[in-house]
Structure 1
Amino acid sequence: MPETDLSRLTIDRRPGTSPRRRNWKPWAIGAAVLLAIAFAVTHLSGEKVVETVSVTTAYPYQAATLLNAAGYVVAQRKASVASKATGRLEWLGVVEGSRVKQGDIIARVENRDMVAQVDQAAASVSSARAELADAQRAFDRSRDLAAKNYVSGSALDAAQARLDKARAGVAVAQANQRAAQVSVDQTLIRAPFDGVVLTKSANVGDVITPFSSASESKGAVVTMADMETLEVEADVSEVNLAKIRVGQPCEIQLDAFPEQRLRGVVSRTVPTVDRTKATVLVKVRFVDRDAGVLPEMSAKVAFLDKEPAADERQPLIAVAQEAIVERGGQSSLFVVAEGRLKLVAVQTGRKINDLVVVSGVKPGDRVVMNPAAGLSDGDRVRVEQK
């Protein structure tokens, strides 16, 4: 029997031979290198972390603001325009944005059968008038003959009855003609007031059934609004209702035009409270009108204590008080540009709520908020992300 080599079963305990120890060392070295790089980037380079805020614009009248509220632009005069008649839409003369005058024909439903009825009614009127003319002549002859005692009184009465019947026949024919014309007019969709077409709900070929919910049919053809009746509807908390009064001056800011301020005035309040939100709907009428204002735009309303003067409606450059620092006896701001600080001397002015009017910087500049004492001109910085 051959001898077995038991030395192969011996566990090798020499340093560096364990599989675990051979695997963790490269990872540990890599982590240490990454930490060293991060330390070098943030500390050895001298980069400092700062919080910034934008230089903005403010209006002096903001100091007289009693309350701010958000809402939407709503047209107080708005209509979904449809035909009273049921039929297929054969002509549509407007698109979204079209301006129309009251009474303008904006669409038409198929009406050839109704036009034929009008023609038929007109022919009936002509026939009735011819009968009336004949009855009038017969009556005139009977009257002349009766005056000479050539005909009896009963003959004259018969002529009078025929004349009255002919007159009634003309009236009936004319009424039928008017009814047929009304049916035709109901197929013509007219603008109910001066305004602008907001949406188009139907196209040529669609079946218009304003009083039905039939499948594949349309009710309203277009939706339009009177742009002269645009107002802002804002929800005001009921606890602040005492600060609102009819005729109160306001400033309206639209989210679509954030740099624009439009004058407004409180026109009315809806006399009920929304119990789910504990708010009252306040309607603000535009004093300054702009063609760019559209229904359903988001808006912010500042309810003012008094009507601002013309100079109070001019924007001023302002910044948060916490960004201003005193260096060398001069008010200054640390402006962040391309990762470095620039110390800019500024002149300070009046306070507008939490902002201070300054000169020497422009709106949109990023400045350091609450600058630390160790910051200086030219420092490399990294903006803290929040």
Structure 2
Amino acid sequence: MSESGIEKKAPLRLDKGAGGARRSRGRGWLYAGLAAVLLVGAGIAKRALAPATVEVLTVAAAYPYQGVTLLNATGYVVAQRKAAVGSKASGRLEWLGVREGSVVKAGEVLARIESKDVEAQARQAEANVGVARASQVQAQAELFEAERLLRRARDLADRNYVSVSALDEAEARAKRARAAVTSAEAAIRAAEAGARAANVSLDQTNIRAPFDGVVLTKSANVGDIVTTFSAAADSKGAVVTMADMATLEVEADVSESVLGKVRIGQPCEIQLDAFPDMRFRGEVIRIVPTVDRSKASVMTKIRFLDRDERILPEMSAKVAFLSRAMGANERNPRVVVHKDALVGEGAASAVFRIDQDLAHRVAVTRGAAIGDQVEVSVLKAGDRVVRKPADTLKDGARVEVSSK
């Protein structure tokens, strides 16, 4: 109590320590909330900026015949007319006038073997013909003389100037003369036949083309021994192998389980491995009436309706057997894409084409369907498009190709 008797009270003071703690805790929660908001925003932004994972399809070129193909088979190009050309004569090859790829005509001389001995035999045979003809002339002269004497003997016998035995002798001489003439004529025919045989043997030393065609391989060279059956060591049975390119066809093995889909005259499309971008029209001409039991297949032969000088024997071929023939306007390839890449209908049809890592929406015009593929405009073969694009995919969105 103060001197005046009045008690003075102490002034009111705030506890600064407790208030500061409360303010610090408030700021902490505020900062934590802001951090959470920032993290959520960053996550949302990251998800928004992350590329979409997509599957990709490739735009291709397809032929309309693929939509009417009943079955496919593989085979090889062969020549229906093919020959290993040799000689019936034996000897050393002295001249060869062709090489691989030479175009020859039927009867043209391809090669020649040594023929001096055969030529000498031919000349001897022709000389024998001359000898036989000279003998015929002599026999005819003797016949003429014998018949003259026979007529004279008969005239004298009628006048009783000669004996009967003299007449008989004249008749016998005439008969011998006639027989000699007949023998001489036969000798001429035999000599002529021998001359023809010798000339044939001489001609057989010339190896000729049996038909029009192209030389495929050369089996012998000048100096090689050519024999009929190639029995001697290092001898050759054939000089060249040739084929008639006008008879090229495809031999394809068709599984017997689908043989019912193949018929004579059926239209086909032929693709050669050597020319993958070309197609050739074909037609089934023969079905070999036997089954290869080791492969359970039947050989089917397809002829080419389109000729091309680049088609060669033994080329690998793929054959598509069609349900109908293709028109002239169906011969060219079409740009197609799988139907899974298309979005929208009608005039609103579009695809998402991938350019680097961006997906661009491209409007397209739909055409005819070829199996699961659809003909489209604007695109070109090789373009990459998104398969089954999501509804949320936008034009220009970043994408990442799935590794599946």
TM-score normalised by length of structure 2: 0.77
Instruction: Quote the residue 1:229 is aligned against.
Output: 247
Question: 2:317, 2:91 → 1: CA distance?
Answer: 41
Instruction: Quote the residue 1:5 is aligned against.
Output: none
In the alignment, does 2:292 pair up with 1:274?
A: yes
Change (3 A) 1:216 1:371: farther
CA-CA distance at 1:112 after TM superposition: 1.0
For residue 140 of structure 2, what is the amino acid of its counterpart? Q
Instruction: Quote the residue 1:135 is aligned against.
Output: 139
SS in 2 for 1:274: coil
For residue 268 of structure 2, what is the amino acid of its counterpart? C
Question: 1:308, 1:130 → 2: CA distance?
Answer: 75
For residue 86 of structure 1, what is the amino acid of its counterpart? S
SS in 2 for 1:68: strand
Any conservation in 1 of the 2:54–2:399 contact (CA below 8 Å)? no
Any conservation in 2 of the 1:341–1:381 contact (CA below 8 Å)? no
Pick one of 72, 90, 97 that aligns with 2:101. 97
Instruction: Quote the residue 2:130 is aligned against.
Output: 126
Any conservation in 1 of the 2:349–2:366 contact (CA below 8 Å)? no
For residue 249 of structure 1, what is the amino acid of its counterpart? P
The number of residues matched between the two structures is 341
Query: Which stretch of structure 1 is more off in the superposition, 339-348 or 152-161?
Result: 339-348
Any conservation in 2 of the 1:54–1:319 contact (CA below 8 Å)? yes
Change (3 A) 1:68 1:111: same
Instruction: Quote the residue 2:181 is aligned against.
Output: 163
Question: 2:315, 2:401 → 1: CA distance?
Answer: 37
CA-CA distance at 1:376 after TM superposition: 5.3
Question: 1:243, 1:288 → 2: CA distance?
Answer: 23
Q: Computing the radius of gyration over CA atoms, which structure comes out larger, 1 or 2?
A: 2
Instruction: Quote the residue 1:261 is aligned against.
Output: 279
Alignment of 1:37-186 (within 5 A): 52-149=56-153, 152-186=170-204
- Give CA-to-partner distance per residue, 1:104-150, whole Å, 9 cap, x none: 11111111110011011111111211121121112112112211118
Q: CA RMSD in A?
A: 2.7
Change (3 A) 1:370 1:208: farther
Question: 1:209, 1:46 → 2: CA distance?
Answer: 81
Stretches of structure 2 that go unaligned for 5 or more consecutive residues are 1-48, 157-168
CA-CA distance at 1:255 after TM superposition: 1.5
Query: Which stretch of structure 1 is more off in the superposition, 279-288 or 373-382?
Result: 373-382
Instruction: Quote the residue 1:193 is aligned against.
Output: 211
For residue 331 of structure 1, what is the amino acid of its counterpart? A
CA-CA distance at 1:320 after TM superposition: 2.1
Question: 1:72, 1:295 → 2: CA distance?
Answer: 8
Any conservation in 2 of the 1:336–1:367 contact (CA below 8 Å)? no
Change (3 A) 1:144 1:287: same
SS in 2 for 1:120: helix
CA-CA distance at 1:330 after TM superposition: 4.4
Query: Which stretch of structure 1 is more off in the superposition, 220-229 or 368-377?
Result: 368-377
CA-CA distance at 1:356 after TM superposition: 1.0
Instruction: Quote the residue 1:332 is aligned against.
Output: 351
CA-CA distance at 1:267 after TM superposition: 0.8
Change (3 A) 1:137 1:229: same
Change (3 A) 1:253 1:172: same
CA-CA distance at 1:230 after TM superposition: 1.2
Alignment of 1:343-382 (within 5 A): 343-370=361-388, 377=396, 379=398
Question: 1:330, 1:320 → 2: CA distance?
Answer: 13
CA-CA distance at 1:96 after TM superposition: 1.2
Question: 1:81, 1:280 → 2: CA distance?
Answer: 30
Any conservation in 2 of the 1:47–1:382 contact (CA below 8 Å)? no
Any conservation in 2 of the 1:89–1:205 contact (CA below 8 Å)? yes
Query: Which stretch of structure 1 is more off in the superposition, 61-70 or 198-207?
Result: 61-70
CA-CA distance at 1:165 after TM superposition: 2.4
TM-score normalised by length of structure 1: 0.80
Question: 2:93, 2:87 → 1: CA distance?
Answer: 10
User: Percent of aligned pairs with the same residue?
Assistant: 54
Query: Which stretch of structure 1 is more off in the superposition, 94-103 or 115-124?
Result: 94-103
CA-CA distance at 1:294 after TM superposition: 1.1
Change (3 A) 1:370 1:90: farther
Question: 1:286, 1:84 → 2: CA distance?
Answer: 35
CA-CA distance at 1:273 after TM superposition: 1.2
CA-CA distance at 1:306 after TM superposition: 1.4
Instruction: Quote the residue 1:250 is aligned against.
Output: 268
In the alignment, does 2:327 pair up with 1:309?
A: yes
For residue 307 of structure 1, what is the amino acid of its counterpart? A
In the alignment, does 2:228 pair up with 1:210?
A: yes
SS in 2 for 1:317: strand
SS in 2 for 1:219: coil
SS in 1 for 2:87: coil
Change (3 A) 1:380 1:354: closer
Change (3 A) 1:49 1:293: farther
Stretches of structure 1 that go unaligned for 5 or more consecutive residues are 1-44
Instruction: Quote the residue 1:38 is aligned against.
Output: none
- Give CA-to-partner distance per residue, 1:171-212, whole Å, 9 cap, x none: 221122112112112211111111111111111111112313
Any conservation in 1 of the 2:350–2:361 contact (CA below 8 Å)? no
CA-CA distance at 1:223 after TM superposition: 0.9
Instruction: Quote the residue 1:40 is aligned against.
Output: none
Change (3 A) 1:98 1:139: same
